[in-house]
Amino acid sequence: MKGVNLALGAAGLAAFLALGEAVPRLGLVKEAYFPPTSRIADALGDELADSAFWTALGDTLTGWALGLAIAVGAGIVAGVVISVVPHLREATASTIEFLRPIPSVALIPLAVLLYGTELRSVLLLVVYASFWQILIQVLYGVQDVDPVAEETARSYGLGTWARIRHVLWPTALPYVMTGVRLAAAVALILAITAELVIGAPGLGARIAVAQTSQAVPEMYALIVVAGLLGLLINVGARTVERRALAWHQSVRGEVAV
Amino acid sequence: MLDVRGLKKVYEGSGRRVEAVRDLTFTVGAGELVCLVGPSGCGKTTLLKCMGGLLAPTAGEVLLEGRQVTGPPPGMAFVFQEYGRSLFPWMRVGENVELPLKQKGLSKARRRDLVADALRSVGLADASSAYPWQLSGGMQQRVAIARALAYEPRVLLMDEPFAAVDAQTRADLEDLVRGLWRERGITILFVTHDIDEAVYLGERVVVLSASPTVVQEQLKVDLPPDRDQLHTRVAPRFAELRTHVYEQIQAAKRGVQLGGTPLEAAPMDAPPPLKDGLR
């Protein structure tokens, strides 16, 4: 069954690529704006041979990873503190609900004002967008603590810190993992957006340069790279999730007793 | 060992006031195995949580070895009915048993010995590296019991621990608890809604009234200390005792205090007066 699905997936992708090759060649769309697959592939090959491309990729990944790490750290700490300190959740709920829907891109002018085209501009946007994904998941996850598990921990004399570490954290972990997966995707979107719009160095800035210099196939090649990056990040996040949650119902499945 | 004096617990919330436990007074002697039995919804769990320091009573007090219980005392271990939720699925069996010992600050070698010994006594010496959810329900409850044993409590509180396992497993676990009690000399307070279980296990049975709860009756179980599922349960004295407890529970549900006792010399103390009589 898995083999069949894999074959179908490969066939679908091949058909899509063939369509991308055929449609411009048949003149259905203008080749200048929509180059055939083979030309995009050529441009991709050229990019891979260019050291400036790898620098740009490194810049994007740096912004992405650093921003995500800050957001995950801050989101987890803030989420746990808000949940553990009495009344803090109620007091912060309205503020969070107000701040959370603000689109991160709306902060681009602020980022430029504060940091210009530095990495810090990218970080500001990435952190703002990913932070809420993590925070919300942590807040939900912490609420999921089983009262029986909590009472068990208390009856065996586990203090606040030990209960956070041994009960609250493992309970929230599946939620945190979902948050990290979502945040990882959002962080990449924001990193590339920031580079594209602000001109901070990275893949986004390179896409903008390719566009203004009419290097259309190169532009597509860079977009493909961004897409592949997103794919890899998602696969990576899922693998980490599976490893960390081997004990969880969603991963372990049904066991024969 | 364990004194419950005038215990009262009222739950208040959202305009509703529920008096779960009205006025409970009884004692459990050192090394005793006492079964608490009462009609369903009579506040057994509330009582046990107050005794274990998990809930603060509205009035009255619980004393463990003369000291008032204000939080979970170190000398007391709890076995919950919901073993599946009480064991941590993210830890292996051995880690589950070991966690409270780490909290106690015991050395690694000591912890290893205690975990191995506790798992051996419940017949799960080989299960240490399994996850709880890989075990059957009965085995999971054995792990929970092992965790309590490894903690080396002087008092073990058990809240309907076998209510969720099948009848055969249940019989095995009952014998396990009695065996451990005789072997280790722990004081055990065992809460159940099952009359047969209470009589089979206990040295003494405390019958609770319906909510709001008071002590309906206390009964000494004068069965021989060596009990087994086959013979004890068909002994005439067992039938007499269980009939008596059954009648008391039925009376408790109706809210009356049975007058004369059909059992010679069975009740331990004069039954406490029921203040509001018929309700």
**pLDDT digit string, tens, across residues B27-48:** 999 999 999 998 877 788 889 9
B258 confidence band (pLDDT: 50, 70, 90): low
Mean pLDDT value of segment B65-76: 90
Substitution target in B90, B95, B140, B149 with the highest count of A β-carbons within 10 Å is B90
Q: Cβ distance B48 to B201 under 8 Å?
A: no
Chain A residues with CB-CB distance to B103 below 8 A: 156-159, 162
Query: Given an 8 Å threshold on Cβ–Cβ distance, is A152 in contact with B78?
Result: yes
Closest CA to B3 of B35, B34, B36, B29: B29
**Phi, psi at residue A131, to the nearest 5°?**
-55, -45
* Rounded Cα distance, B221 and A71, in Å: 63
Count interface pairs A-B at CB distance under 8 A: 62
Is pLDDT at B264 greater than 50 in this prediction?
no
The whole-model pTM stands at: 0.82
Is pLDDT at B140 greater than 60 in this prediction?
yes
Q: Would you call A4 exposed, middle or buried from its count of C-beta atoms within 10 A (0-12, 13-18, 19+)?
A: exposed
Least confident of B41-45, B146-150, B157-161: B41-45
- Which residue is closest to A150 within chain B, CA to CA? B86
ipTM: 0.84
The partner residue sitting opposite B54, judged by closest CB among A155, A173, A257, is A155
Q: Cβ distance B235 to B242 under 8 Å?
A: no
Peptide bond into A35 cis (omega under 30): no
Q: Cβ distance A188 to A229 under 8 Å?
A: yes
Is pLDDT at B147 greater than 90 in this prediction?
yes
The two tokens of residue A35 are 């180059």
Q: Cβ distance B87 to B109 under 8 Å?
A: no
% of chain B beyond a pLDDT of 90? 55
Q: Is B87 helix (H, G, I), strand (E, B) or coil?
A: coil
Query: Given an 8 Å threshold on Cβ–Cβ distance, is B80 in contact with A247?
Result: no
Helix (H) / strand (E) containing A217? helix A216-244
The 10s digit of each residue's pLDDT in B97-116 is 999 999 888 999 999 999 99
Query: Given an 8 Å threshold on Cβ–Cβ distance, is B151 in contact with A255?
Result: no
Predicted local distance difference test score (pLDDT) of residue A231 = 94
Mean pLDDT value of segment B71-94: 92
B277 confidence band (pLDDT: 50, 70, 90): very low
Query: Given an 8 Å threshold on Cβ–Cβ distance, is A156 in contact with B100?
Result: yes
Query: Given an 8 Å threshold on Cβ–Cβ distance, is A148 in contact with B85?
Result: yes
Predicted local distance difference test score (pLDDT) of residue A232 = 95
Query: Given an 8 Å threshold on Cβ–Cβ distance, is A155 in contact with B131?
Result: no
* Rounded Cα distance, B185 and B177, in Å: 11
The 10s digit of each residue's pLDDT in A19-63 is 999 999 998 888 888 999 999 999 999 999 999 999 999 999 999
Closest CA to A52 of A231, A175, A178, A218: A218
* Rounded Cα distance, B107 and B104, in Å: 9
**CATH fold of B1-75+154-279:** Rossmann fold (3.40.50)
Predicted local distance difference test score (pLDDT) of residue A27 = 87
Chain A residues with CB-CB distance to B147 below 8 A: 156
A76 confidence band (pLDDT: 50, 70, 90): very high
Compute the nearest-CA separation of A95 from chain B (Å).
Answer: 27
Predicted local distance difference test score (pLDDT) of residue A208 = 94
Average pLDDT of chain A, as a whole number: 92
Mean pLDDT value of segment B196-201: 93
Interface check A248 vs B, CB under 8 A: yes
Question: What is the architecture, at CATH level 2, of domain A29-242?
Answer: Orthogonal Bundle (1.10)
The 10s digit of each residue's pLDDT in A80-100 is 999 988 899 999 999 999 999
Interface check B52 vs A, CB under 8 A: yes
A246 confidence band (pLDDT: 50, 70, 90): confident
Every domain range in chain B assigned CATH 3.40.50.300: 1-75+154-279
Predicted local distance difference test score (pLDDT) of residue B18 = 84
B65 contact partners, CB below 8 Å, separation of at least 6: B1, B75, B154
B255: left (phi over 0), alpha (psi -120 to 50) or beta: left
Residue, of B279 and B153, whose pLDDT is higher? B153
Mean pLDDT value of segment A3-11: 92
Predicted local distance difference test score (pLDDT) of residue B42 = 79
Q: Cβ distance B34 to B28 under 8 Å?
A: yes
* Rounded Cα distance, B37 and B26, in Å: 13
* Rounded Cα distance, B20 and B60, in Å: 14
CA B279 to chain centre: 29
Is pLDDT at B269 greater than 70 in this prediction?
no
* Amino acid (one-letter) located at B249: I
Query: Given an 8 Å threshold on Cβ–Cβ distance, is A156 in contact with B151?
Result: yes
Predicted local distance difference test score (pLDDT) of residue A251 = 79
- Which residue is closest to B104 within chain A, CA to CA? A157
The partner residue sitting opposite A149, judged by closest CB among B88, B104, B133, is B88
Interface check A152 vs B, CB under 8 A: yes
Is pLDDT at B16 greater than 70 in this prediction?
yes
Q: Cβ distance A160 to A84 under 8 Å?
A: yes
